[in-house]
């Protein structure tokens, strides 16, 4: 498809059409919420729900109103700017657009496919959504066949080889299915090698290219696929390590039996992404791959604390906190795996948490963060499996140290008390201030009332609580009164750390948000909400 033939709306976002100014919840606001976290409501939950037409009414309203091309542009921009904390809602919305009767909307959606589906897993998920949404017989028309073909042909041979060997199937679909149904015709020789590998296996690649003179690029793809196949059959540990280091093979491409080797893990760790490394610290310690005082432990600790690596990986302090708390626990969440936490690794994680705070970009908003201490903060947070006091302390520390105008308070029945959080305080020192003798009942309106009485100008209120109740005043009504007095469209975020549901936010007010549980995605939702992009 020629980009020049696309509708004008795709090249320039029509801000007036999808403008979400004002205080009410418009269809555009609902769409952005859906693309961000999979729900049009003012509630983010760590429990991800199944997606369906009934949960995307604003999406359908905009498409049926003749604004499908602009919806596709919004989907693309949401992903490009990193606003989507979950990938599937955007894939579902794109599938809905691609099924619509309007030719321009369908054309725009399928043209955007190769940009939005960055991994095979996302491509498979998109195709499955199309299957679930289809009406009548067949869905593999010429437009979809071309879009899937373009997805494969838009990648260079090496990138495609890496992706198809790491993720072979998902959601009931495989690369073989898609190549066959799309009538795939490779655009160049390197892609042709990978397609041959998908359809005929390594034996087919050997027969077609083994004895032929080929270009340097084809030889590289051939060598990579050969290494992947050798790794499957390899019985010599040193040969496997050589393959991993030479071709930068990853954990997904190594057989489970080989992952019992300390030396194999050592080779994998050299190129292992930060998030994967943090996830496997417990496993590596339990299986004695990381022995106390060893050079391997020292190397891992150095990587964890590397500020450049933390910034490159965009590792938020909350992610490190979760990894740290899970590692300190000494056992897996569901598995029987147990380990003795290594003191050096624990210290490295604590330092990494402190260092990673500097990588967080401030929003420039004025925050008031209020922690409810009317009940014990020793409960386990839904979605993170760490204590609620750890979540509250971490977020207080991060916001206080990154935002130029932020105040932290604790509150219980009838009282609000400022809580000093300075730049030189540690996580444990902040947590200690939040562990107090529980009071009687929760009143989430208190921090807003306190700000009003003390003439505090606040752009965003964030309340952390273990409870789902409020006192005499409804926080939503109190916020509206505060807005009128101060003259600001202040926002309210209530985080029910152990809640399965919340009903504090006014569903018709775009300046209120409920969060049920708390996880790393909730951090991004808060940022998006504060910056007025959802």
* Domain spans, the chain: 3-191, 272-358, 362-530
Kindly state the tokens that stand for 143.
């437009």
Sheet holding 366-372, edge to edge: 43-45, 512-516, 491-496, 460-465, 366-372, 405-412, 415-418
What is residue 408's predicted lDDT score, i.e. its pLDDT? Answer: 95
Q: pTM value?
A: 0.90
DSSP state of 67: I
Torsion from C-alpha of 206, 211, 215, 217, nearest 10 degrees:
30
Nearest to 10 by CA among 86, 89, 85, 97: 97
Distance CA 162, CA 190 (A): 12
The alpha-helical segments, DSSP class H, found in 167-215 are 175-182, 189-209
Q: Which helix (H) or strand (E) holds 30?
A: helix 27-37
Convert the pLDDT of each residue in 25-54 to its tens digit. 899 999 999 999 999 999 999 999 899 999
How many C-beta neighbours within 10 Å does residue 508 have?
11
What is residue 65's predicted lDDT score, i.e. its pLDDT? Answer: 93
What is residue 484's predicted lDDT score, i.e. its pLDDT? Answer: 95
Nearest to 194 by CA among 232, 154, 168, 222: 222
Distance CA 128, CA 457 (A): 48
Convert the pLDDT of each residue in 412-457 to its tens digit. 877 899 998 887 888 988 988 888 655 667 788 999 999 999 999 9
Q: Which helix (H) or strand (E) holds 89?
A: helix 88-99
Distance CA 8, CA 69 (A): 9
Quick one: 51 exposed, middle or buried, by C-beta within 10 A (0-12, 13-18, 19+)? buried
CATH superfamily of 362-530: von Willebrand factor, type A domain (3.40.50.410)
What is residue 137's predicted lDDT score, i.e. its pLDDT? Answer: 65
The alpha-helical segments, DSSP class H, found in 234-370 are 237-247, 262-269, 274-279, 281-286, 295-305, 307-312, 317-329, 343-356
Distance CA 84, CA 79 (A): 6
Q: Output 510-514 pairs: Cβ under 8 A, ≥24 positions apart.
A: 510/20, 510/22, 510/23, 510/24, 510/25, 510/26, 510/29, 510/42, 511/23, 511/479, 512/42, 512/476, 512/479, 513/42, 513/43, 513/44, 514/42, 514/43, 514/44
Low-confidence residues of the chain: pLDDT under 70: 1-22, 136-137, 376, 436-440, 468-472
Cα–Cα distances in angstroms (integers) from residue 144 to residues 16, 54, 134, 532, in the given order: 31, 25, 13, 35
What is residue 436's predicted lDDT score, i.e. its pLDDT? Answer: 66
**Residue whose tokens read 């926080």:** 475
């Amino acid at each position: 498809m020629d980009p020049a033939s696309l509708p004008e709306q795709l090249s320039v976002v029509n801000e007036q059409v999808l403008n979400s100014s004002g205080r009410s919840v418009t269809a555009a606001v609902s769409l952005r919420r859906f693309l961000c976290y999979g729900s049009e409501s003012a509630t983010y939950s760590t429990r991800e729900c199944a997606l369906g037409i009934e949960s995307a009414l604003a999406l359908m309203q905009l498409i049926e109103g003749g604004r499908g091309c602009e919806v596709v542009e919004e989907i693309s921009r949401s992903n490009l700017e990193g606003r989507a904390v979950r990938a599937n809602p955007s894939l579902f919305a794109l599938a809905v657009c691609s099924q619509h009767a309007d030719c321009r909307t369908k054309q725009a959606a399928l043209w955007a496919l190769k940009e939005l589906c960055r991994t095979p897993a996302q491509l498979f998920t998109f195709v499955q959504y199309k299957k679930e949404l289809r009406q009548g017989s067949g869905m593999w028309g010429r437009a979809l066949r071309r879009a899937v073909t373009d997805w494969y042909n838009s990648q260079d041979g090496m990138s495609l080889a890496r992706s198809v060997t790491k993720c072979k199937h998902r959601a009931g679909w495989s690369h073989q299915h898609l190549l066959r149904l799309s009538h795939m015709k490779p655009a160049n020789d390197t892609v042709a090698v990978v397609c041959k590998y998908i359809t005929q296996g390594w034996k087919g690649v050997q027969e077609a290219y083994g004895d032929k003179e080929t270009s340097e690029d084809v030889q590289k793809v051939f060598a990579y696929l050969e290494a992947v196949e050798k790794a499957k059959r390899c019985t010599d540990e040193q040969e496997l390590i050589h393959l991993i280091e030479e071709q930068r093979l990853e954990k997904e491409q190594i057989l489970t039996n080989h992952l019992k080797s300390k030396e194999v893990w050592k080779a994998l760790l050299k190129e292992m992404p930060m998030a994967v490394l943090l996830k496997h610290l417990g496993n590596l310690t339990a299986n004695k791959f990381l022995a106390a005082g060893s050079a391997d432990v020292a190397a891992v600790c150095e990587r964890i604390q590397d500020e450049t690596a933390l910034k490159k990986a965009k590792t938020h302090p909350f992610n490190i906190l979760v990894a740290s708390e899970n590692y300190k626990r000494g056992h897996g969440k569901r598995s029987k795996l147990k380990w003795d936490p290594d003191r050096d690794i624990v210290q490295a994680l604590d330092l990494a948490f402190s260092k990673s705070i500097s990588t967080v970009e401030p929003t420039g908003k004025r925050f008031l963060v209020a922690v409810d201490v009317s009940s014990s903060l020793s409960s386990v947070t839904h979605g993170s499996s760490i204590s609620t006091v750890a979540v509250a302390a971490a977020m207080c520390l991060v916001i206080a140290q990154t935002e130029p105008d932020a105040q932290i308070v604790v509150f219980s029945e009838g009282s609000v008390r400022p809580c000093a959080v300075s730049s030189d305080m540690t996580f444990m020192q902040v947590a200690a201030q939040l562990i107090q003798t529980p009071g009687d009942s929760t009143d989430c309106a208190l921090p807003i009332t306190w700000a009003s009485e003390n003439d505090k100008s606040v752009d965003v209120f964030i309340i952390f609580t273990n409870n789902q109740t409020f006192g005499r005043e409804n926080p939503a009504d109190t916020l509206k009164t505060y807005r009128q007095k101060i003259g600001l469209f202040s926002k309210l975020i209530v985080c029910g750390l152990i809640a399965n549901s919340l009903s504090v936010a006014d569903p018709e007010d775009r300046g209120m948000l409920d969060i049920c549980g708390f996880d790393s995605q909730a951090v991004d939702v808060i940022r998006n909400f504060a910056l007025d992009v959802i």
